[in-house]
Amino acid sequence: MKIIVCVKQVPDTAATMAVENGNISWGDAPLIINPWDEFAVEAALNLVADQGGEVTALCLGKEEETEAIKHALAMGADAAVLVSDPALKGSDNVAASKVLAAAITKIGEVDLVLFGQQSVDTDTGLLPVQVARLLKWPSLTLVSKFEEVTPAENSLQVVRSMEEGNQIIKSLMPAVVSVTKDYGEPRYPSFMGIRKASKAEYPVWNLADLGIDLPSSSISWPEVNEPVEQEIVTEIIDGDTAEEKAKILVEKLIAEKVL
């Protein structure tokens, strides 16, 4: 099987974010692979371990931002492609999905494209569906399990995890799948993997290599603001026994209409 995993580079989730001169800043905090994308890499590696084939990590980002790709390679991905072009600055989701779809088409003969559920910085969760639409492939979102994958029949059966329960979906391949964290813990990169990834070479494609022009962004970010400060009141509940404290807590929650 040929599987592409789309990985994004994002600021460390532990970083303190601030708005400076109308832009979002995370200071000197390091950039990391989008944590949701590690589940997608894990799923791709397990599928290839079962079925044979190869995993390619695909990232759209600046040329010097290599952490997401290196992390995917260190986890065990076989190859990587970075798409980077100064014209991508300011790209919205419509442009990003067009670029990713073109890169997937250029890589060619792909059975599955895996995504994380969403990115932790811009957080739209839209790219998997937008890319599927451009490729005209089925889109399976919020997948927590791959039940049956039969490359000979171009078919797969997956479990979608939703709040209300699970949904079993059968689909044809090629398909686009977004993977949730319910899939299971991603592996840590091995020492050997990290060493291999640090020396790995991969192509960097620009828009001319992909043969596309970018659509102009139809949405913009006219203003970015800090979240409104919230006043938090802490109250320690007093009582002689745990039962009494629990009773008082429940009464307060009912009074506040939380329950």
Ligand X SMILES: Cc1cc2nc3c(=O)[nH]c(=O)nc-3n(C[C@H](O)[C@H](O)[C@H](O)COP(=O)(O)OP(=O)(O)OC[C@H]3O[C@@H](n4cnc5c(N)ncnc54)[C@H](O)[C@@H]3O)c2cc1C
DSSP character string of 3-15: EEEE--EEE-TTS
Quick one: 94 or 249, whose CB is closer to ligand X?
Answer: 94
Q: Find, among 74, 69, 47, the residue nearest to 184 by Cα.
A: 47
Could you tell me which stretch among 21-29, 34-42, 104-112, 147-155 binds ligand X (CB under 6 A)? 34-42
Question: Is 70 one of the binding residues for ligand X (CB under 6 A)?
Answer: no
- The CA–CA distances, whole Å, from 4 to 55, 59, 105, 237 equal 6, 10, 11, 53
CB distance 174 to 137 below 8 Å: yes
**Rounded to the nearest whole angstrom, what is the least distance from the CB of residue 34 to ligand X in the complex?**
5
Write the binding mask 47 to 66 for ligand X: x where contact by CB under 6 A, - elsewhere. Answer: -----------xxxx-----
Query: In the complex, what is the shortest distance from the CB of residue 135 to ligand X, in angstroms, rounded to a whole number?
Result: 14
| Binding residue for ligand X, selected from 75, 127, 158, 207, defined by CB under 6 A | 127
State the minimum distance, in angstroms, from the CB of residue 15 to ligand X: 16
Q: How far is CA 118 from CA 122, 123, 166, 180, in A?
A: 8, 6, 19, 9
Applying CB under 6 A, among 67, 85, 92, 111 the residue interacting with ligand X is 92
Neighbours of 192 (CB within 10 A): 9
Nearer to ligand X, 165 or 222 (CB): 222
**CA torsion, ordered 59, 65, 66, 68, to nearest 10 deg:** -60
CA distance 65 to 49: 28
Asked if residue 122 binds ligand X (CB under 6 A), the reply is yes
125 lies in the site for ligand X, by CB under 6 A:
yes
Q: Quick one: which of 56, 119, 139, 141 contacts ligand X (CB under 6 A)? A: 119
Structure token pair of residue 176: 């686009």
Scanning residues 200 to 219, which ones bind ligand X (CB under 6 A)? Answer: 217, 219
> What are the two backbone dihedrals, phi and then psi, of residue 61, each rounded to the nearest 5 degrees?
180, -175
Which of 123, 147, 153, 251 contacts ligand X by CB under 6 A?
123
Torsion angle of C-alpha atoms 87, 8, 82, 223, degrees rounded to 10: 10
Among positions 2, 8, 70, 98, the unique one binding ligand X when judged by CB under 6 A:
8
Name the token pair of 91.
């790209």
Using CB under 6 A as the binding rule, whether residue 79 contacts ligand X is answered as no
Residue nearest to ligand X (CB): 116
Please report, as ranges, the residues that interact with ligand X according to CB under 6 A. Answer: 6-8, 34, 36-37, 40, 58-61, 89-93, 96, 115-116, 118-119, 122-128, 217, 219-221
